[in-house]
Amino acid sequence: MENLRFNSQKENDRFSHRKKDYIKLHILLRIDQYEDYVVALSKSVSFLPFRREQHLYRVFPWTIDFNSREETSMATVWISLPRLSPDLFAKRSLLSMASAVGRPITIDKAT
């Protein structure tokens, strides 16, 4: 896993010098240690440094019908709750409200 982090950072640095409007990226990981597999899939989200910013990403198990040329049917959305009462600013309350739109995966670091 440590090698993956190092190599990912190296690739990100290489891409950051290119002028591209959009980079479509899928990474296939072959994990041979069950413990590493559990760690990779147990995190709801992770952050990857790219162009001096932290970008959110998710790991999904590969499926036989995966096609990198097709648009995914899932999307990650950011839900804003302006003027939310302070007594509702608890993790359980926030996740409950977010579940009205779909399956919540994380709460913003600033929250």
Whether residue 86 contacts residue 73, with contact meaning beta carbons closer than 8 Å, is answered with no
- Give me the phi and psi of 90, to 5 degrees please: -110, 150
What b-and-e string marks burial along 77-90, b requiring 16 or more CB atoms within 10 Å of the CB?
A: eeeeeeeeeeeeee
Domain extents for the chain?
1-61, 78-111
Does the pTM surpass 0.95? The reply is: no
pLDDT band at 109 (very low <50, low <70, confident <90, very high): low
pLDDT tens digits for range 30-56: 888 888 888 877 777 777 777 788 877
Alpha-carbon gap, residue 96 to 104, rounded angstroms: 8
pLDDT tens digits for range 70-81: 777 767 778 888
